[in-house]
Structure 1
Amino acid sequence: MDEFGKQTEDGYGNRPRSGNQWLAERFEQHRGHLRAVAYRMLGSLTEADDAVQESWLRLSRSGADGVENLGGWLTTVVGRVCLDMLRTRKALREDSLDTHVPEPVISREEGIDPEQEVLLADSVGLALLVVLETLAPAERLAFVLHDMFAVPFDDIAPIVERTPAATRQLASRARRRVQGTAAPEADLPRQREVVHAFLAASRNGDFDALLAVLDPDVLLRADGGSVAPNLSKVVRGARAVVEQALLFSRVALTARPVLVNGAPGVVAVQQGRAFSVMAFTVADGRIVEINILADPERLGSVDVTAL
């Protein structure tokens, strides 16, 4: 059998259809959806894949007998797995949430492939994931499952061990936090125009041009991880951000335009490897948030040749 419990071919090239194989085929129909749920819950593609794999293991052990809605059942299972992972992470985490940048989904500037479209449905920008990281695990679960995937509170309540009314309050508190997130412009070409203007001004060291494309209250967040903690910082305000011009000029000189979680961004490349990913949130023609991931450990999986 392979890793998903499917029986392999016999010596004649036949694939006997076992009950476990049928179950695995049904699970695969829901994999994209489950990965999308887990990514919103965890803000990490690697951890999301681990959570999806664990949900398969639980399904393969218990079977689907008596399960009328397999998709709904699997959604609550992956939610349970993610909740456990979030609680463990919170207990172990040493890095500051102020500077933490979740793992981005990077695609070529021309567009997002079909698998990423499922993953990023509902405009899951990096700025939104940053806010989700600040929520308590139960709040995040209630918000993600109910507000993003329409799971009823009656189904969420047993996962967080609350009443449906208390679970509704969890989602409400999370919603108030999320509503403060800047909504990006819907016009992607306009977003690109603003980002390209920012990069040109950075390359030229043109402070006035930089100020022109930055919102007065712009927020810059940089995450160097545990390997490069000196790179981690939070900077607020246009003039304070412009003072980071040297950092921007280094990035701009080697930047490759990409989409980061569906919005314009850049990957800075050095010696054939990504050394930073910069994501922009553009609203009303100006940049309102910049998130930079410069963590060598998490950037090691970025395939720059594919970009």
Structure 2
Amino acid sequence: MSAGQPRNAEDFCYRHPDRRSYVLCQRCLRTICPECQTQAAVGVICPECLAQQRQQTPPRVKRAARRLDSRPLVSYWIVGITAALFVVALFVPLTGFLAFNSLYLMPELGAFQPWRLFTALLAHGSFWHLALNMLAVWLIGRSLEPLLGHMRFLALYLIAGLGGSVAVALLAPGTFVIGASGAVFGLLGALLIIGRHIGANITGILVILGINLVLSFLPGSSISWQAHVGGLAVGALLGLIYARTRAASQATMQNLLVGAVAAGLVVLCAVPALT
């Protein structure tokens, strides 16, 4: 603009008077610069109109939008936290405090530490052990977490991991185990069942499951097949629950069934303590 040309205030951003623009907010029609623009369905809107629009959005719409978030955020957190603890364990002896053994479920021994049912998921014996499990979480999570939603996916991971630990306590009492393999097999089991219900091609999942199960039972293998089988069974059961209670009207029933599975596994923890 030349020095002699009169300044038209309407050609400048109302929030940044020194920035010239010819773009108007589609709601209030004030001029806004690129920094202040938010893309809307048609045109752009200013920050004040955006805040007002968010306040007027019904809570049920906000909840639905959160459920439609396709980013596997929980998967990223699982991978990040587990990898971070592995790095810390290189310098601080954490594995012994995280590993699970059925002996920690026996109060009479003076070392009742039931939280190890879950902390074992965070400890890994080697880099390759960690890498393979977390790669599986990332690959499966990209497909499964958007289908289930963040909280259902997290519940699946934790309860399947619990199922793996409980299976170890029942089938291999006195054995120390670490790793997220039980939870990973639970994700595979749920993906298998849900994929079957939605008509997806599950051949690849079956092949992966078969190969891993065979490796678990090979003579001399240090892999805990008990954790694999326990996690797989619980994950498949939760996948069936999720697949059969997909309607919004069945949300309460779904939560009760998932809670019943978790409660049943907790009850089973008392079995090795009574033997």
Q: TM-score if structure 1 supplies the norm length?
A: 0.25
Q: TM-score if structure 2 supplies the norm length?
A: 0.27
Larger radius of gyration: 2
Greater strand proportion: 1
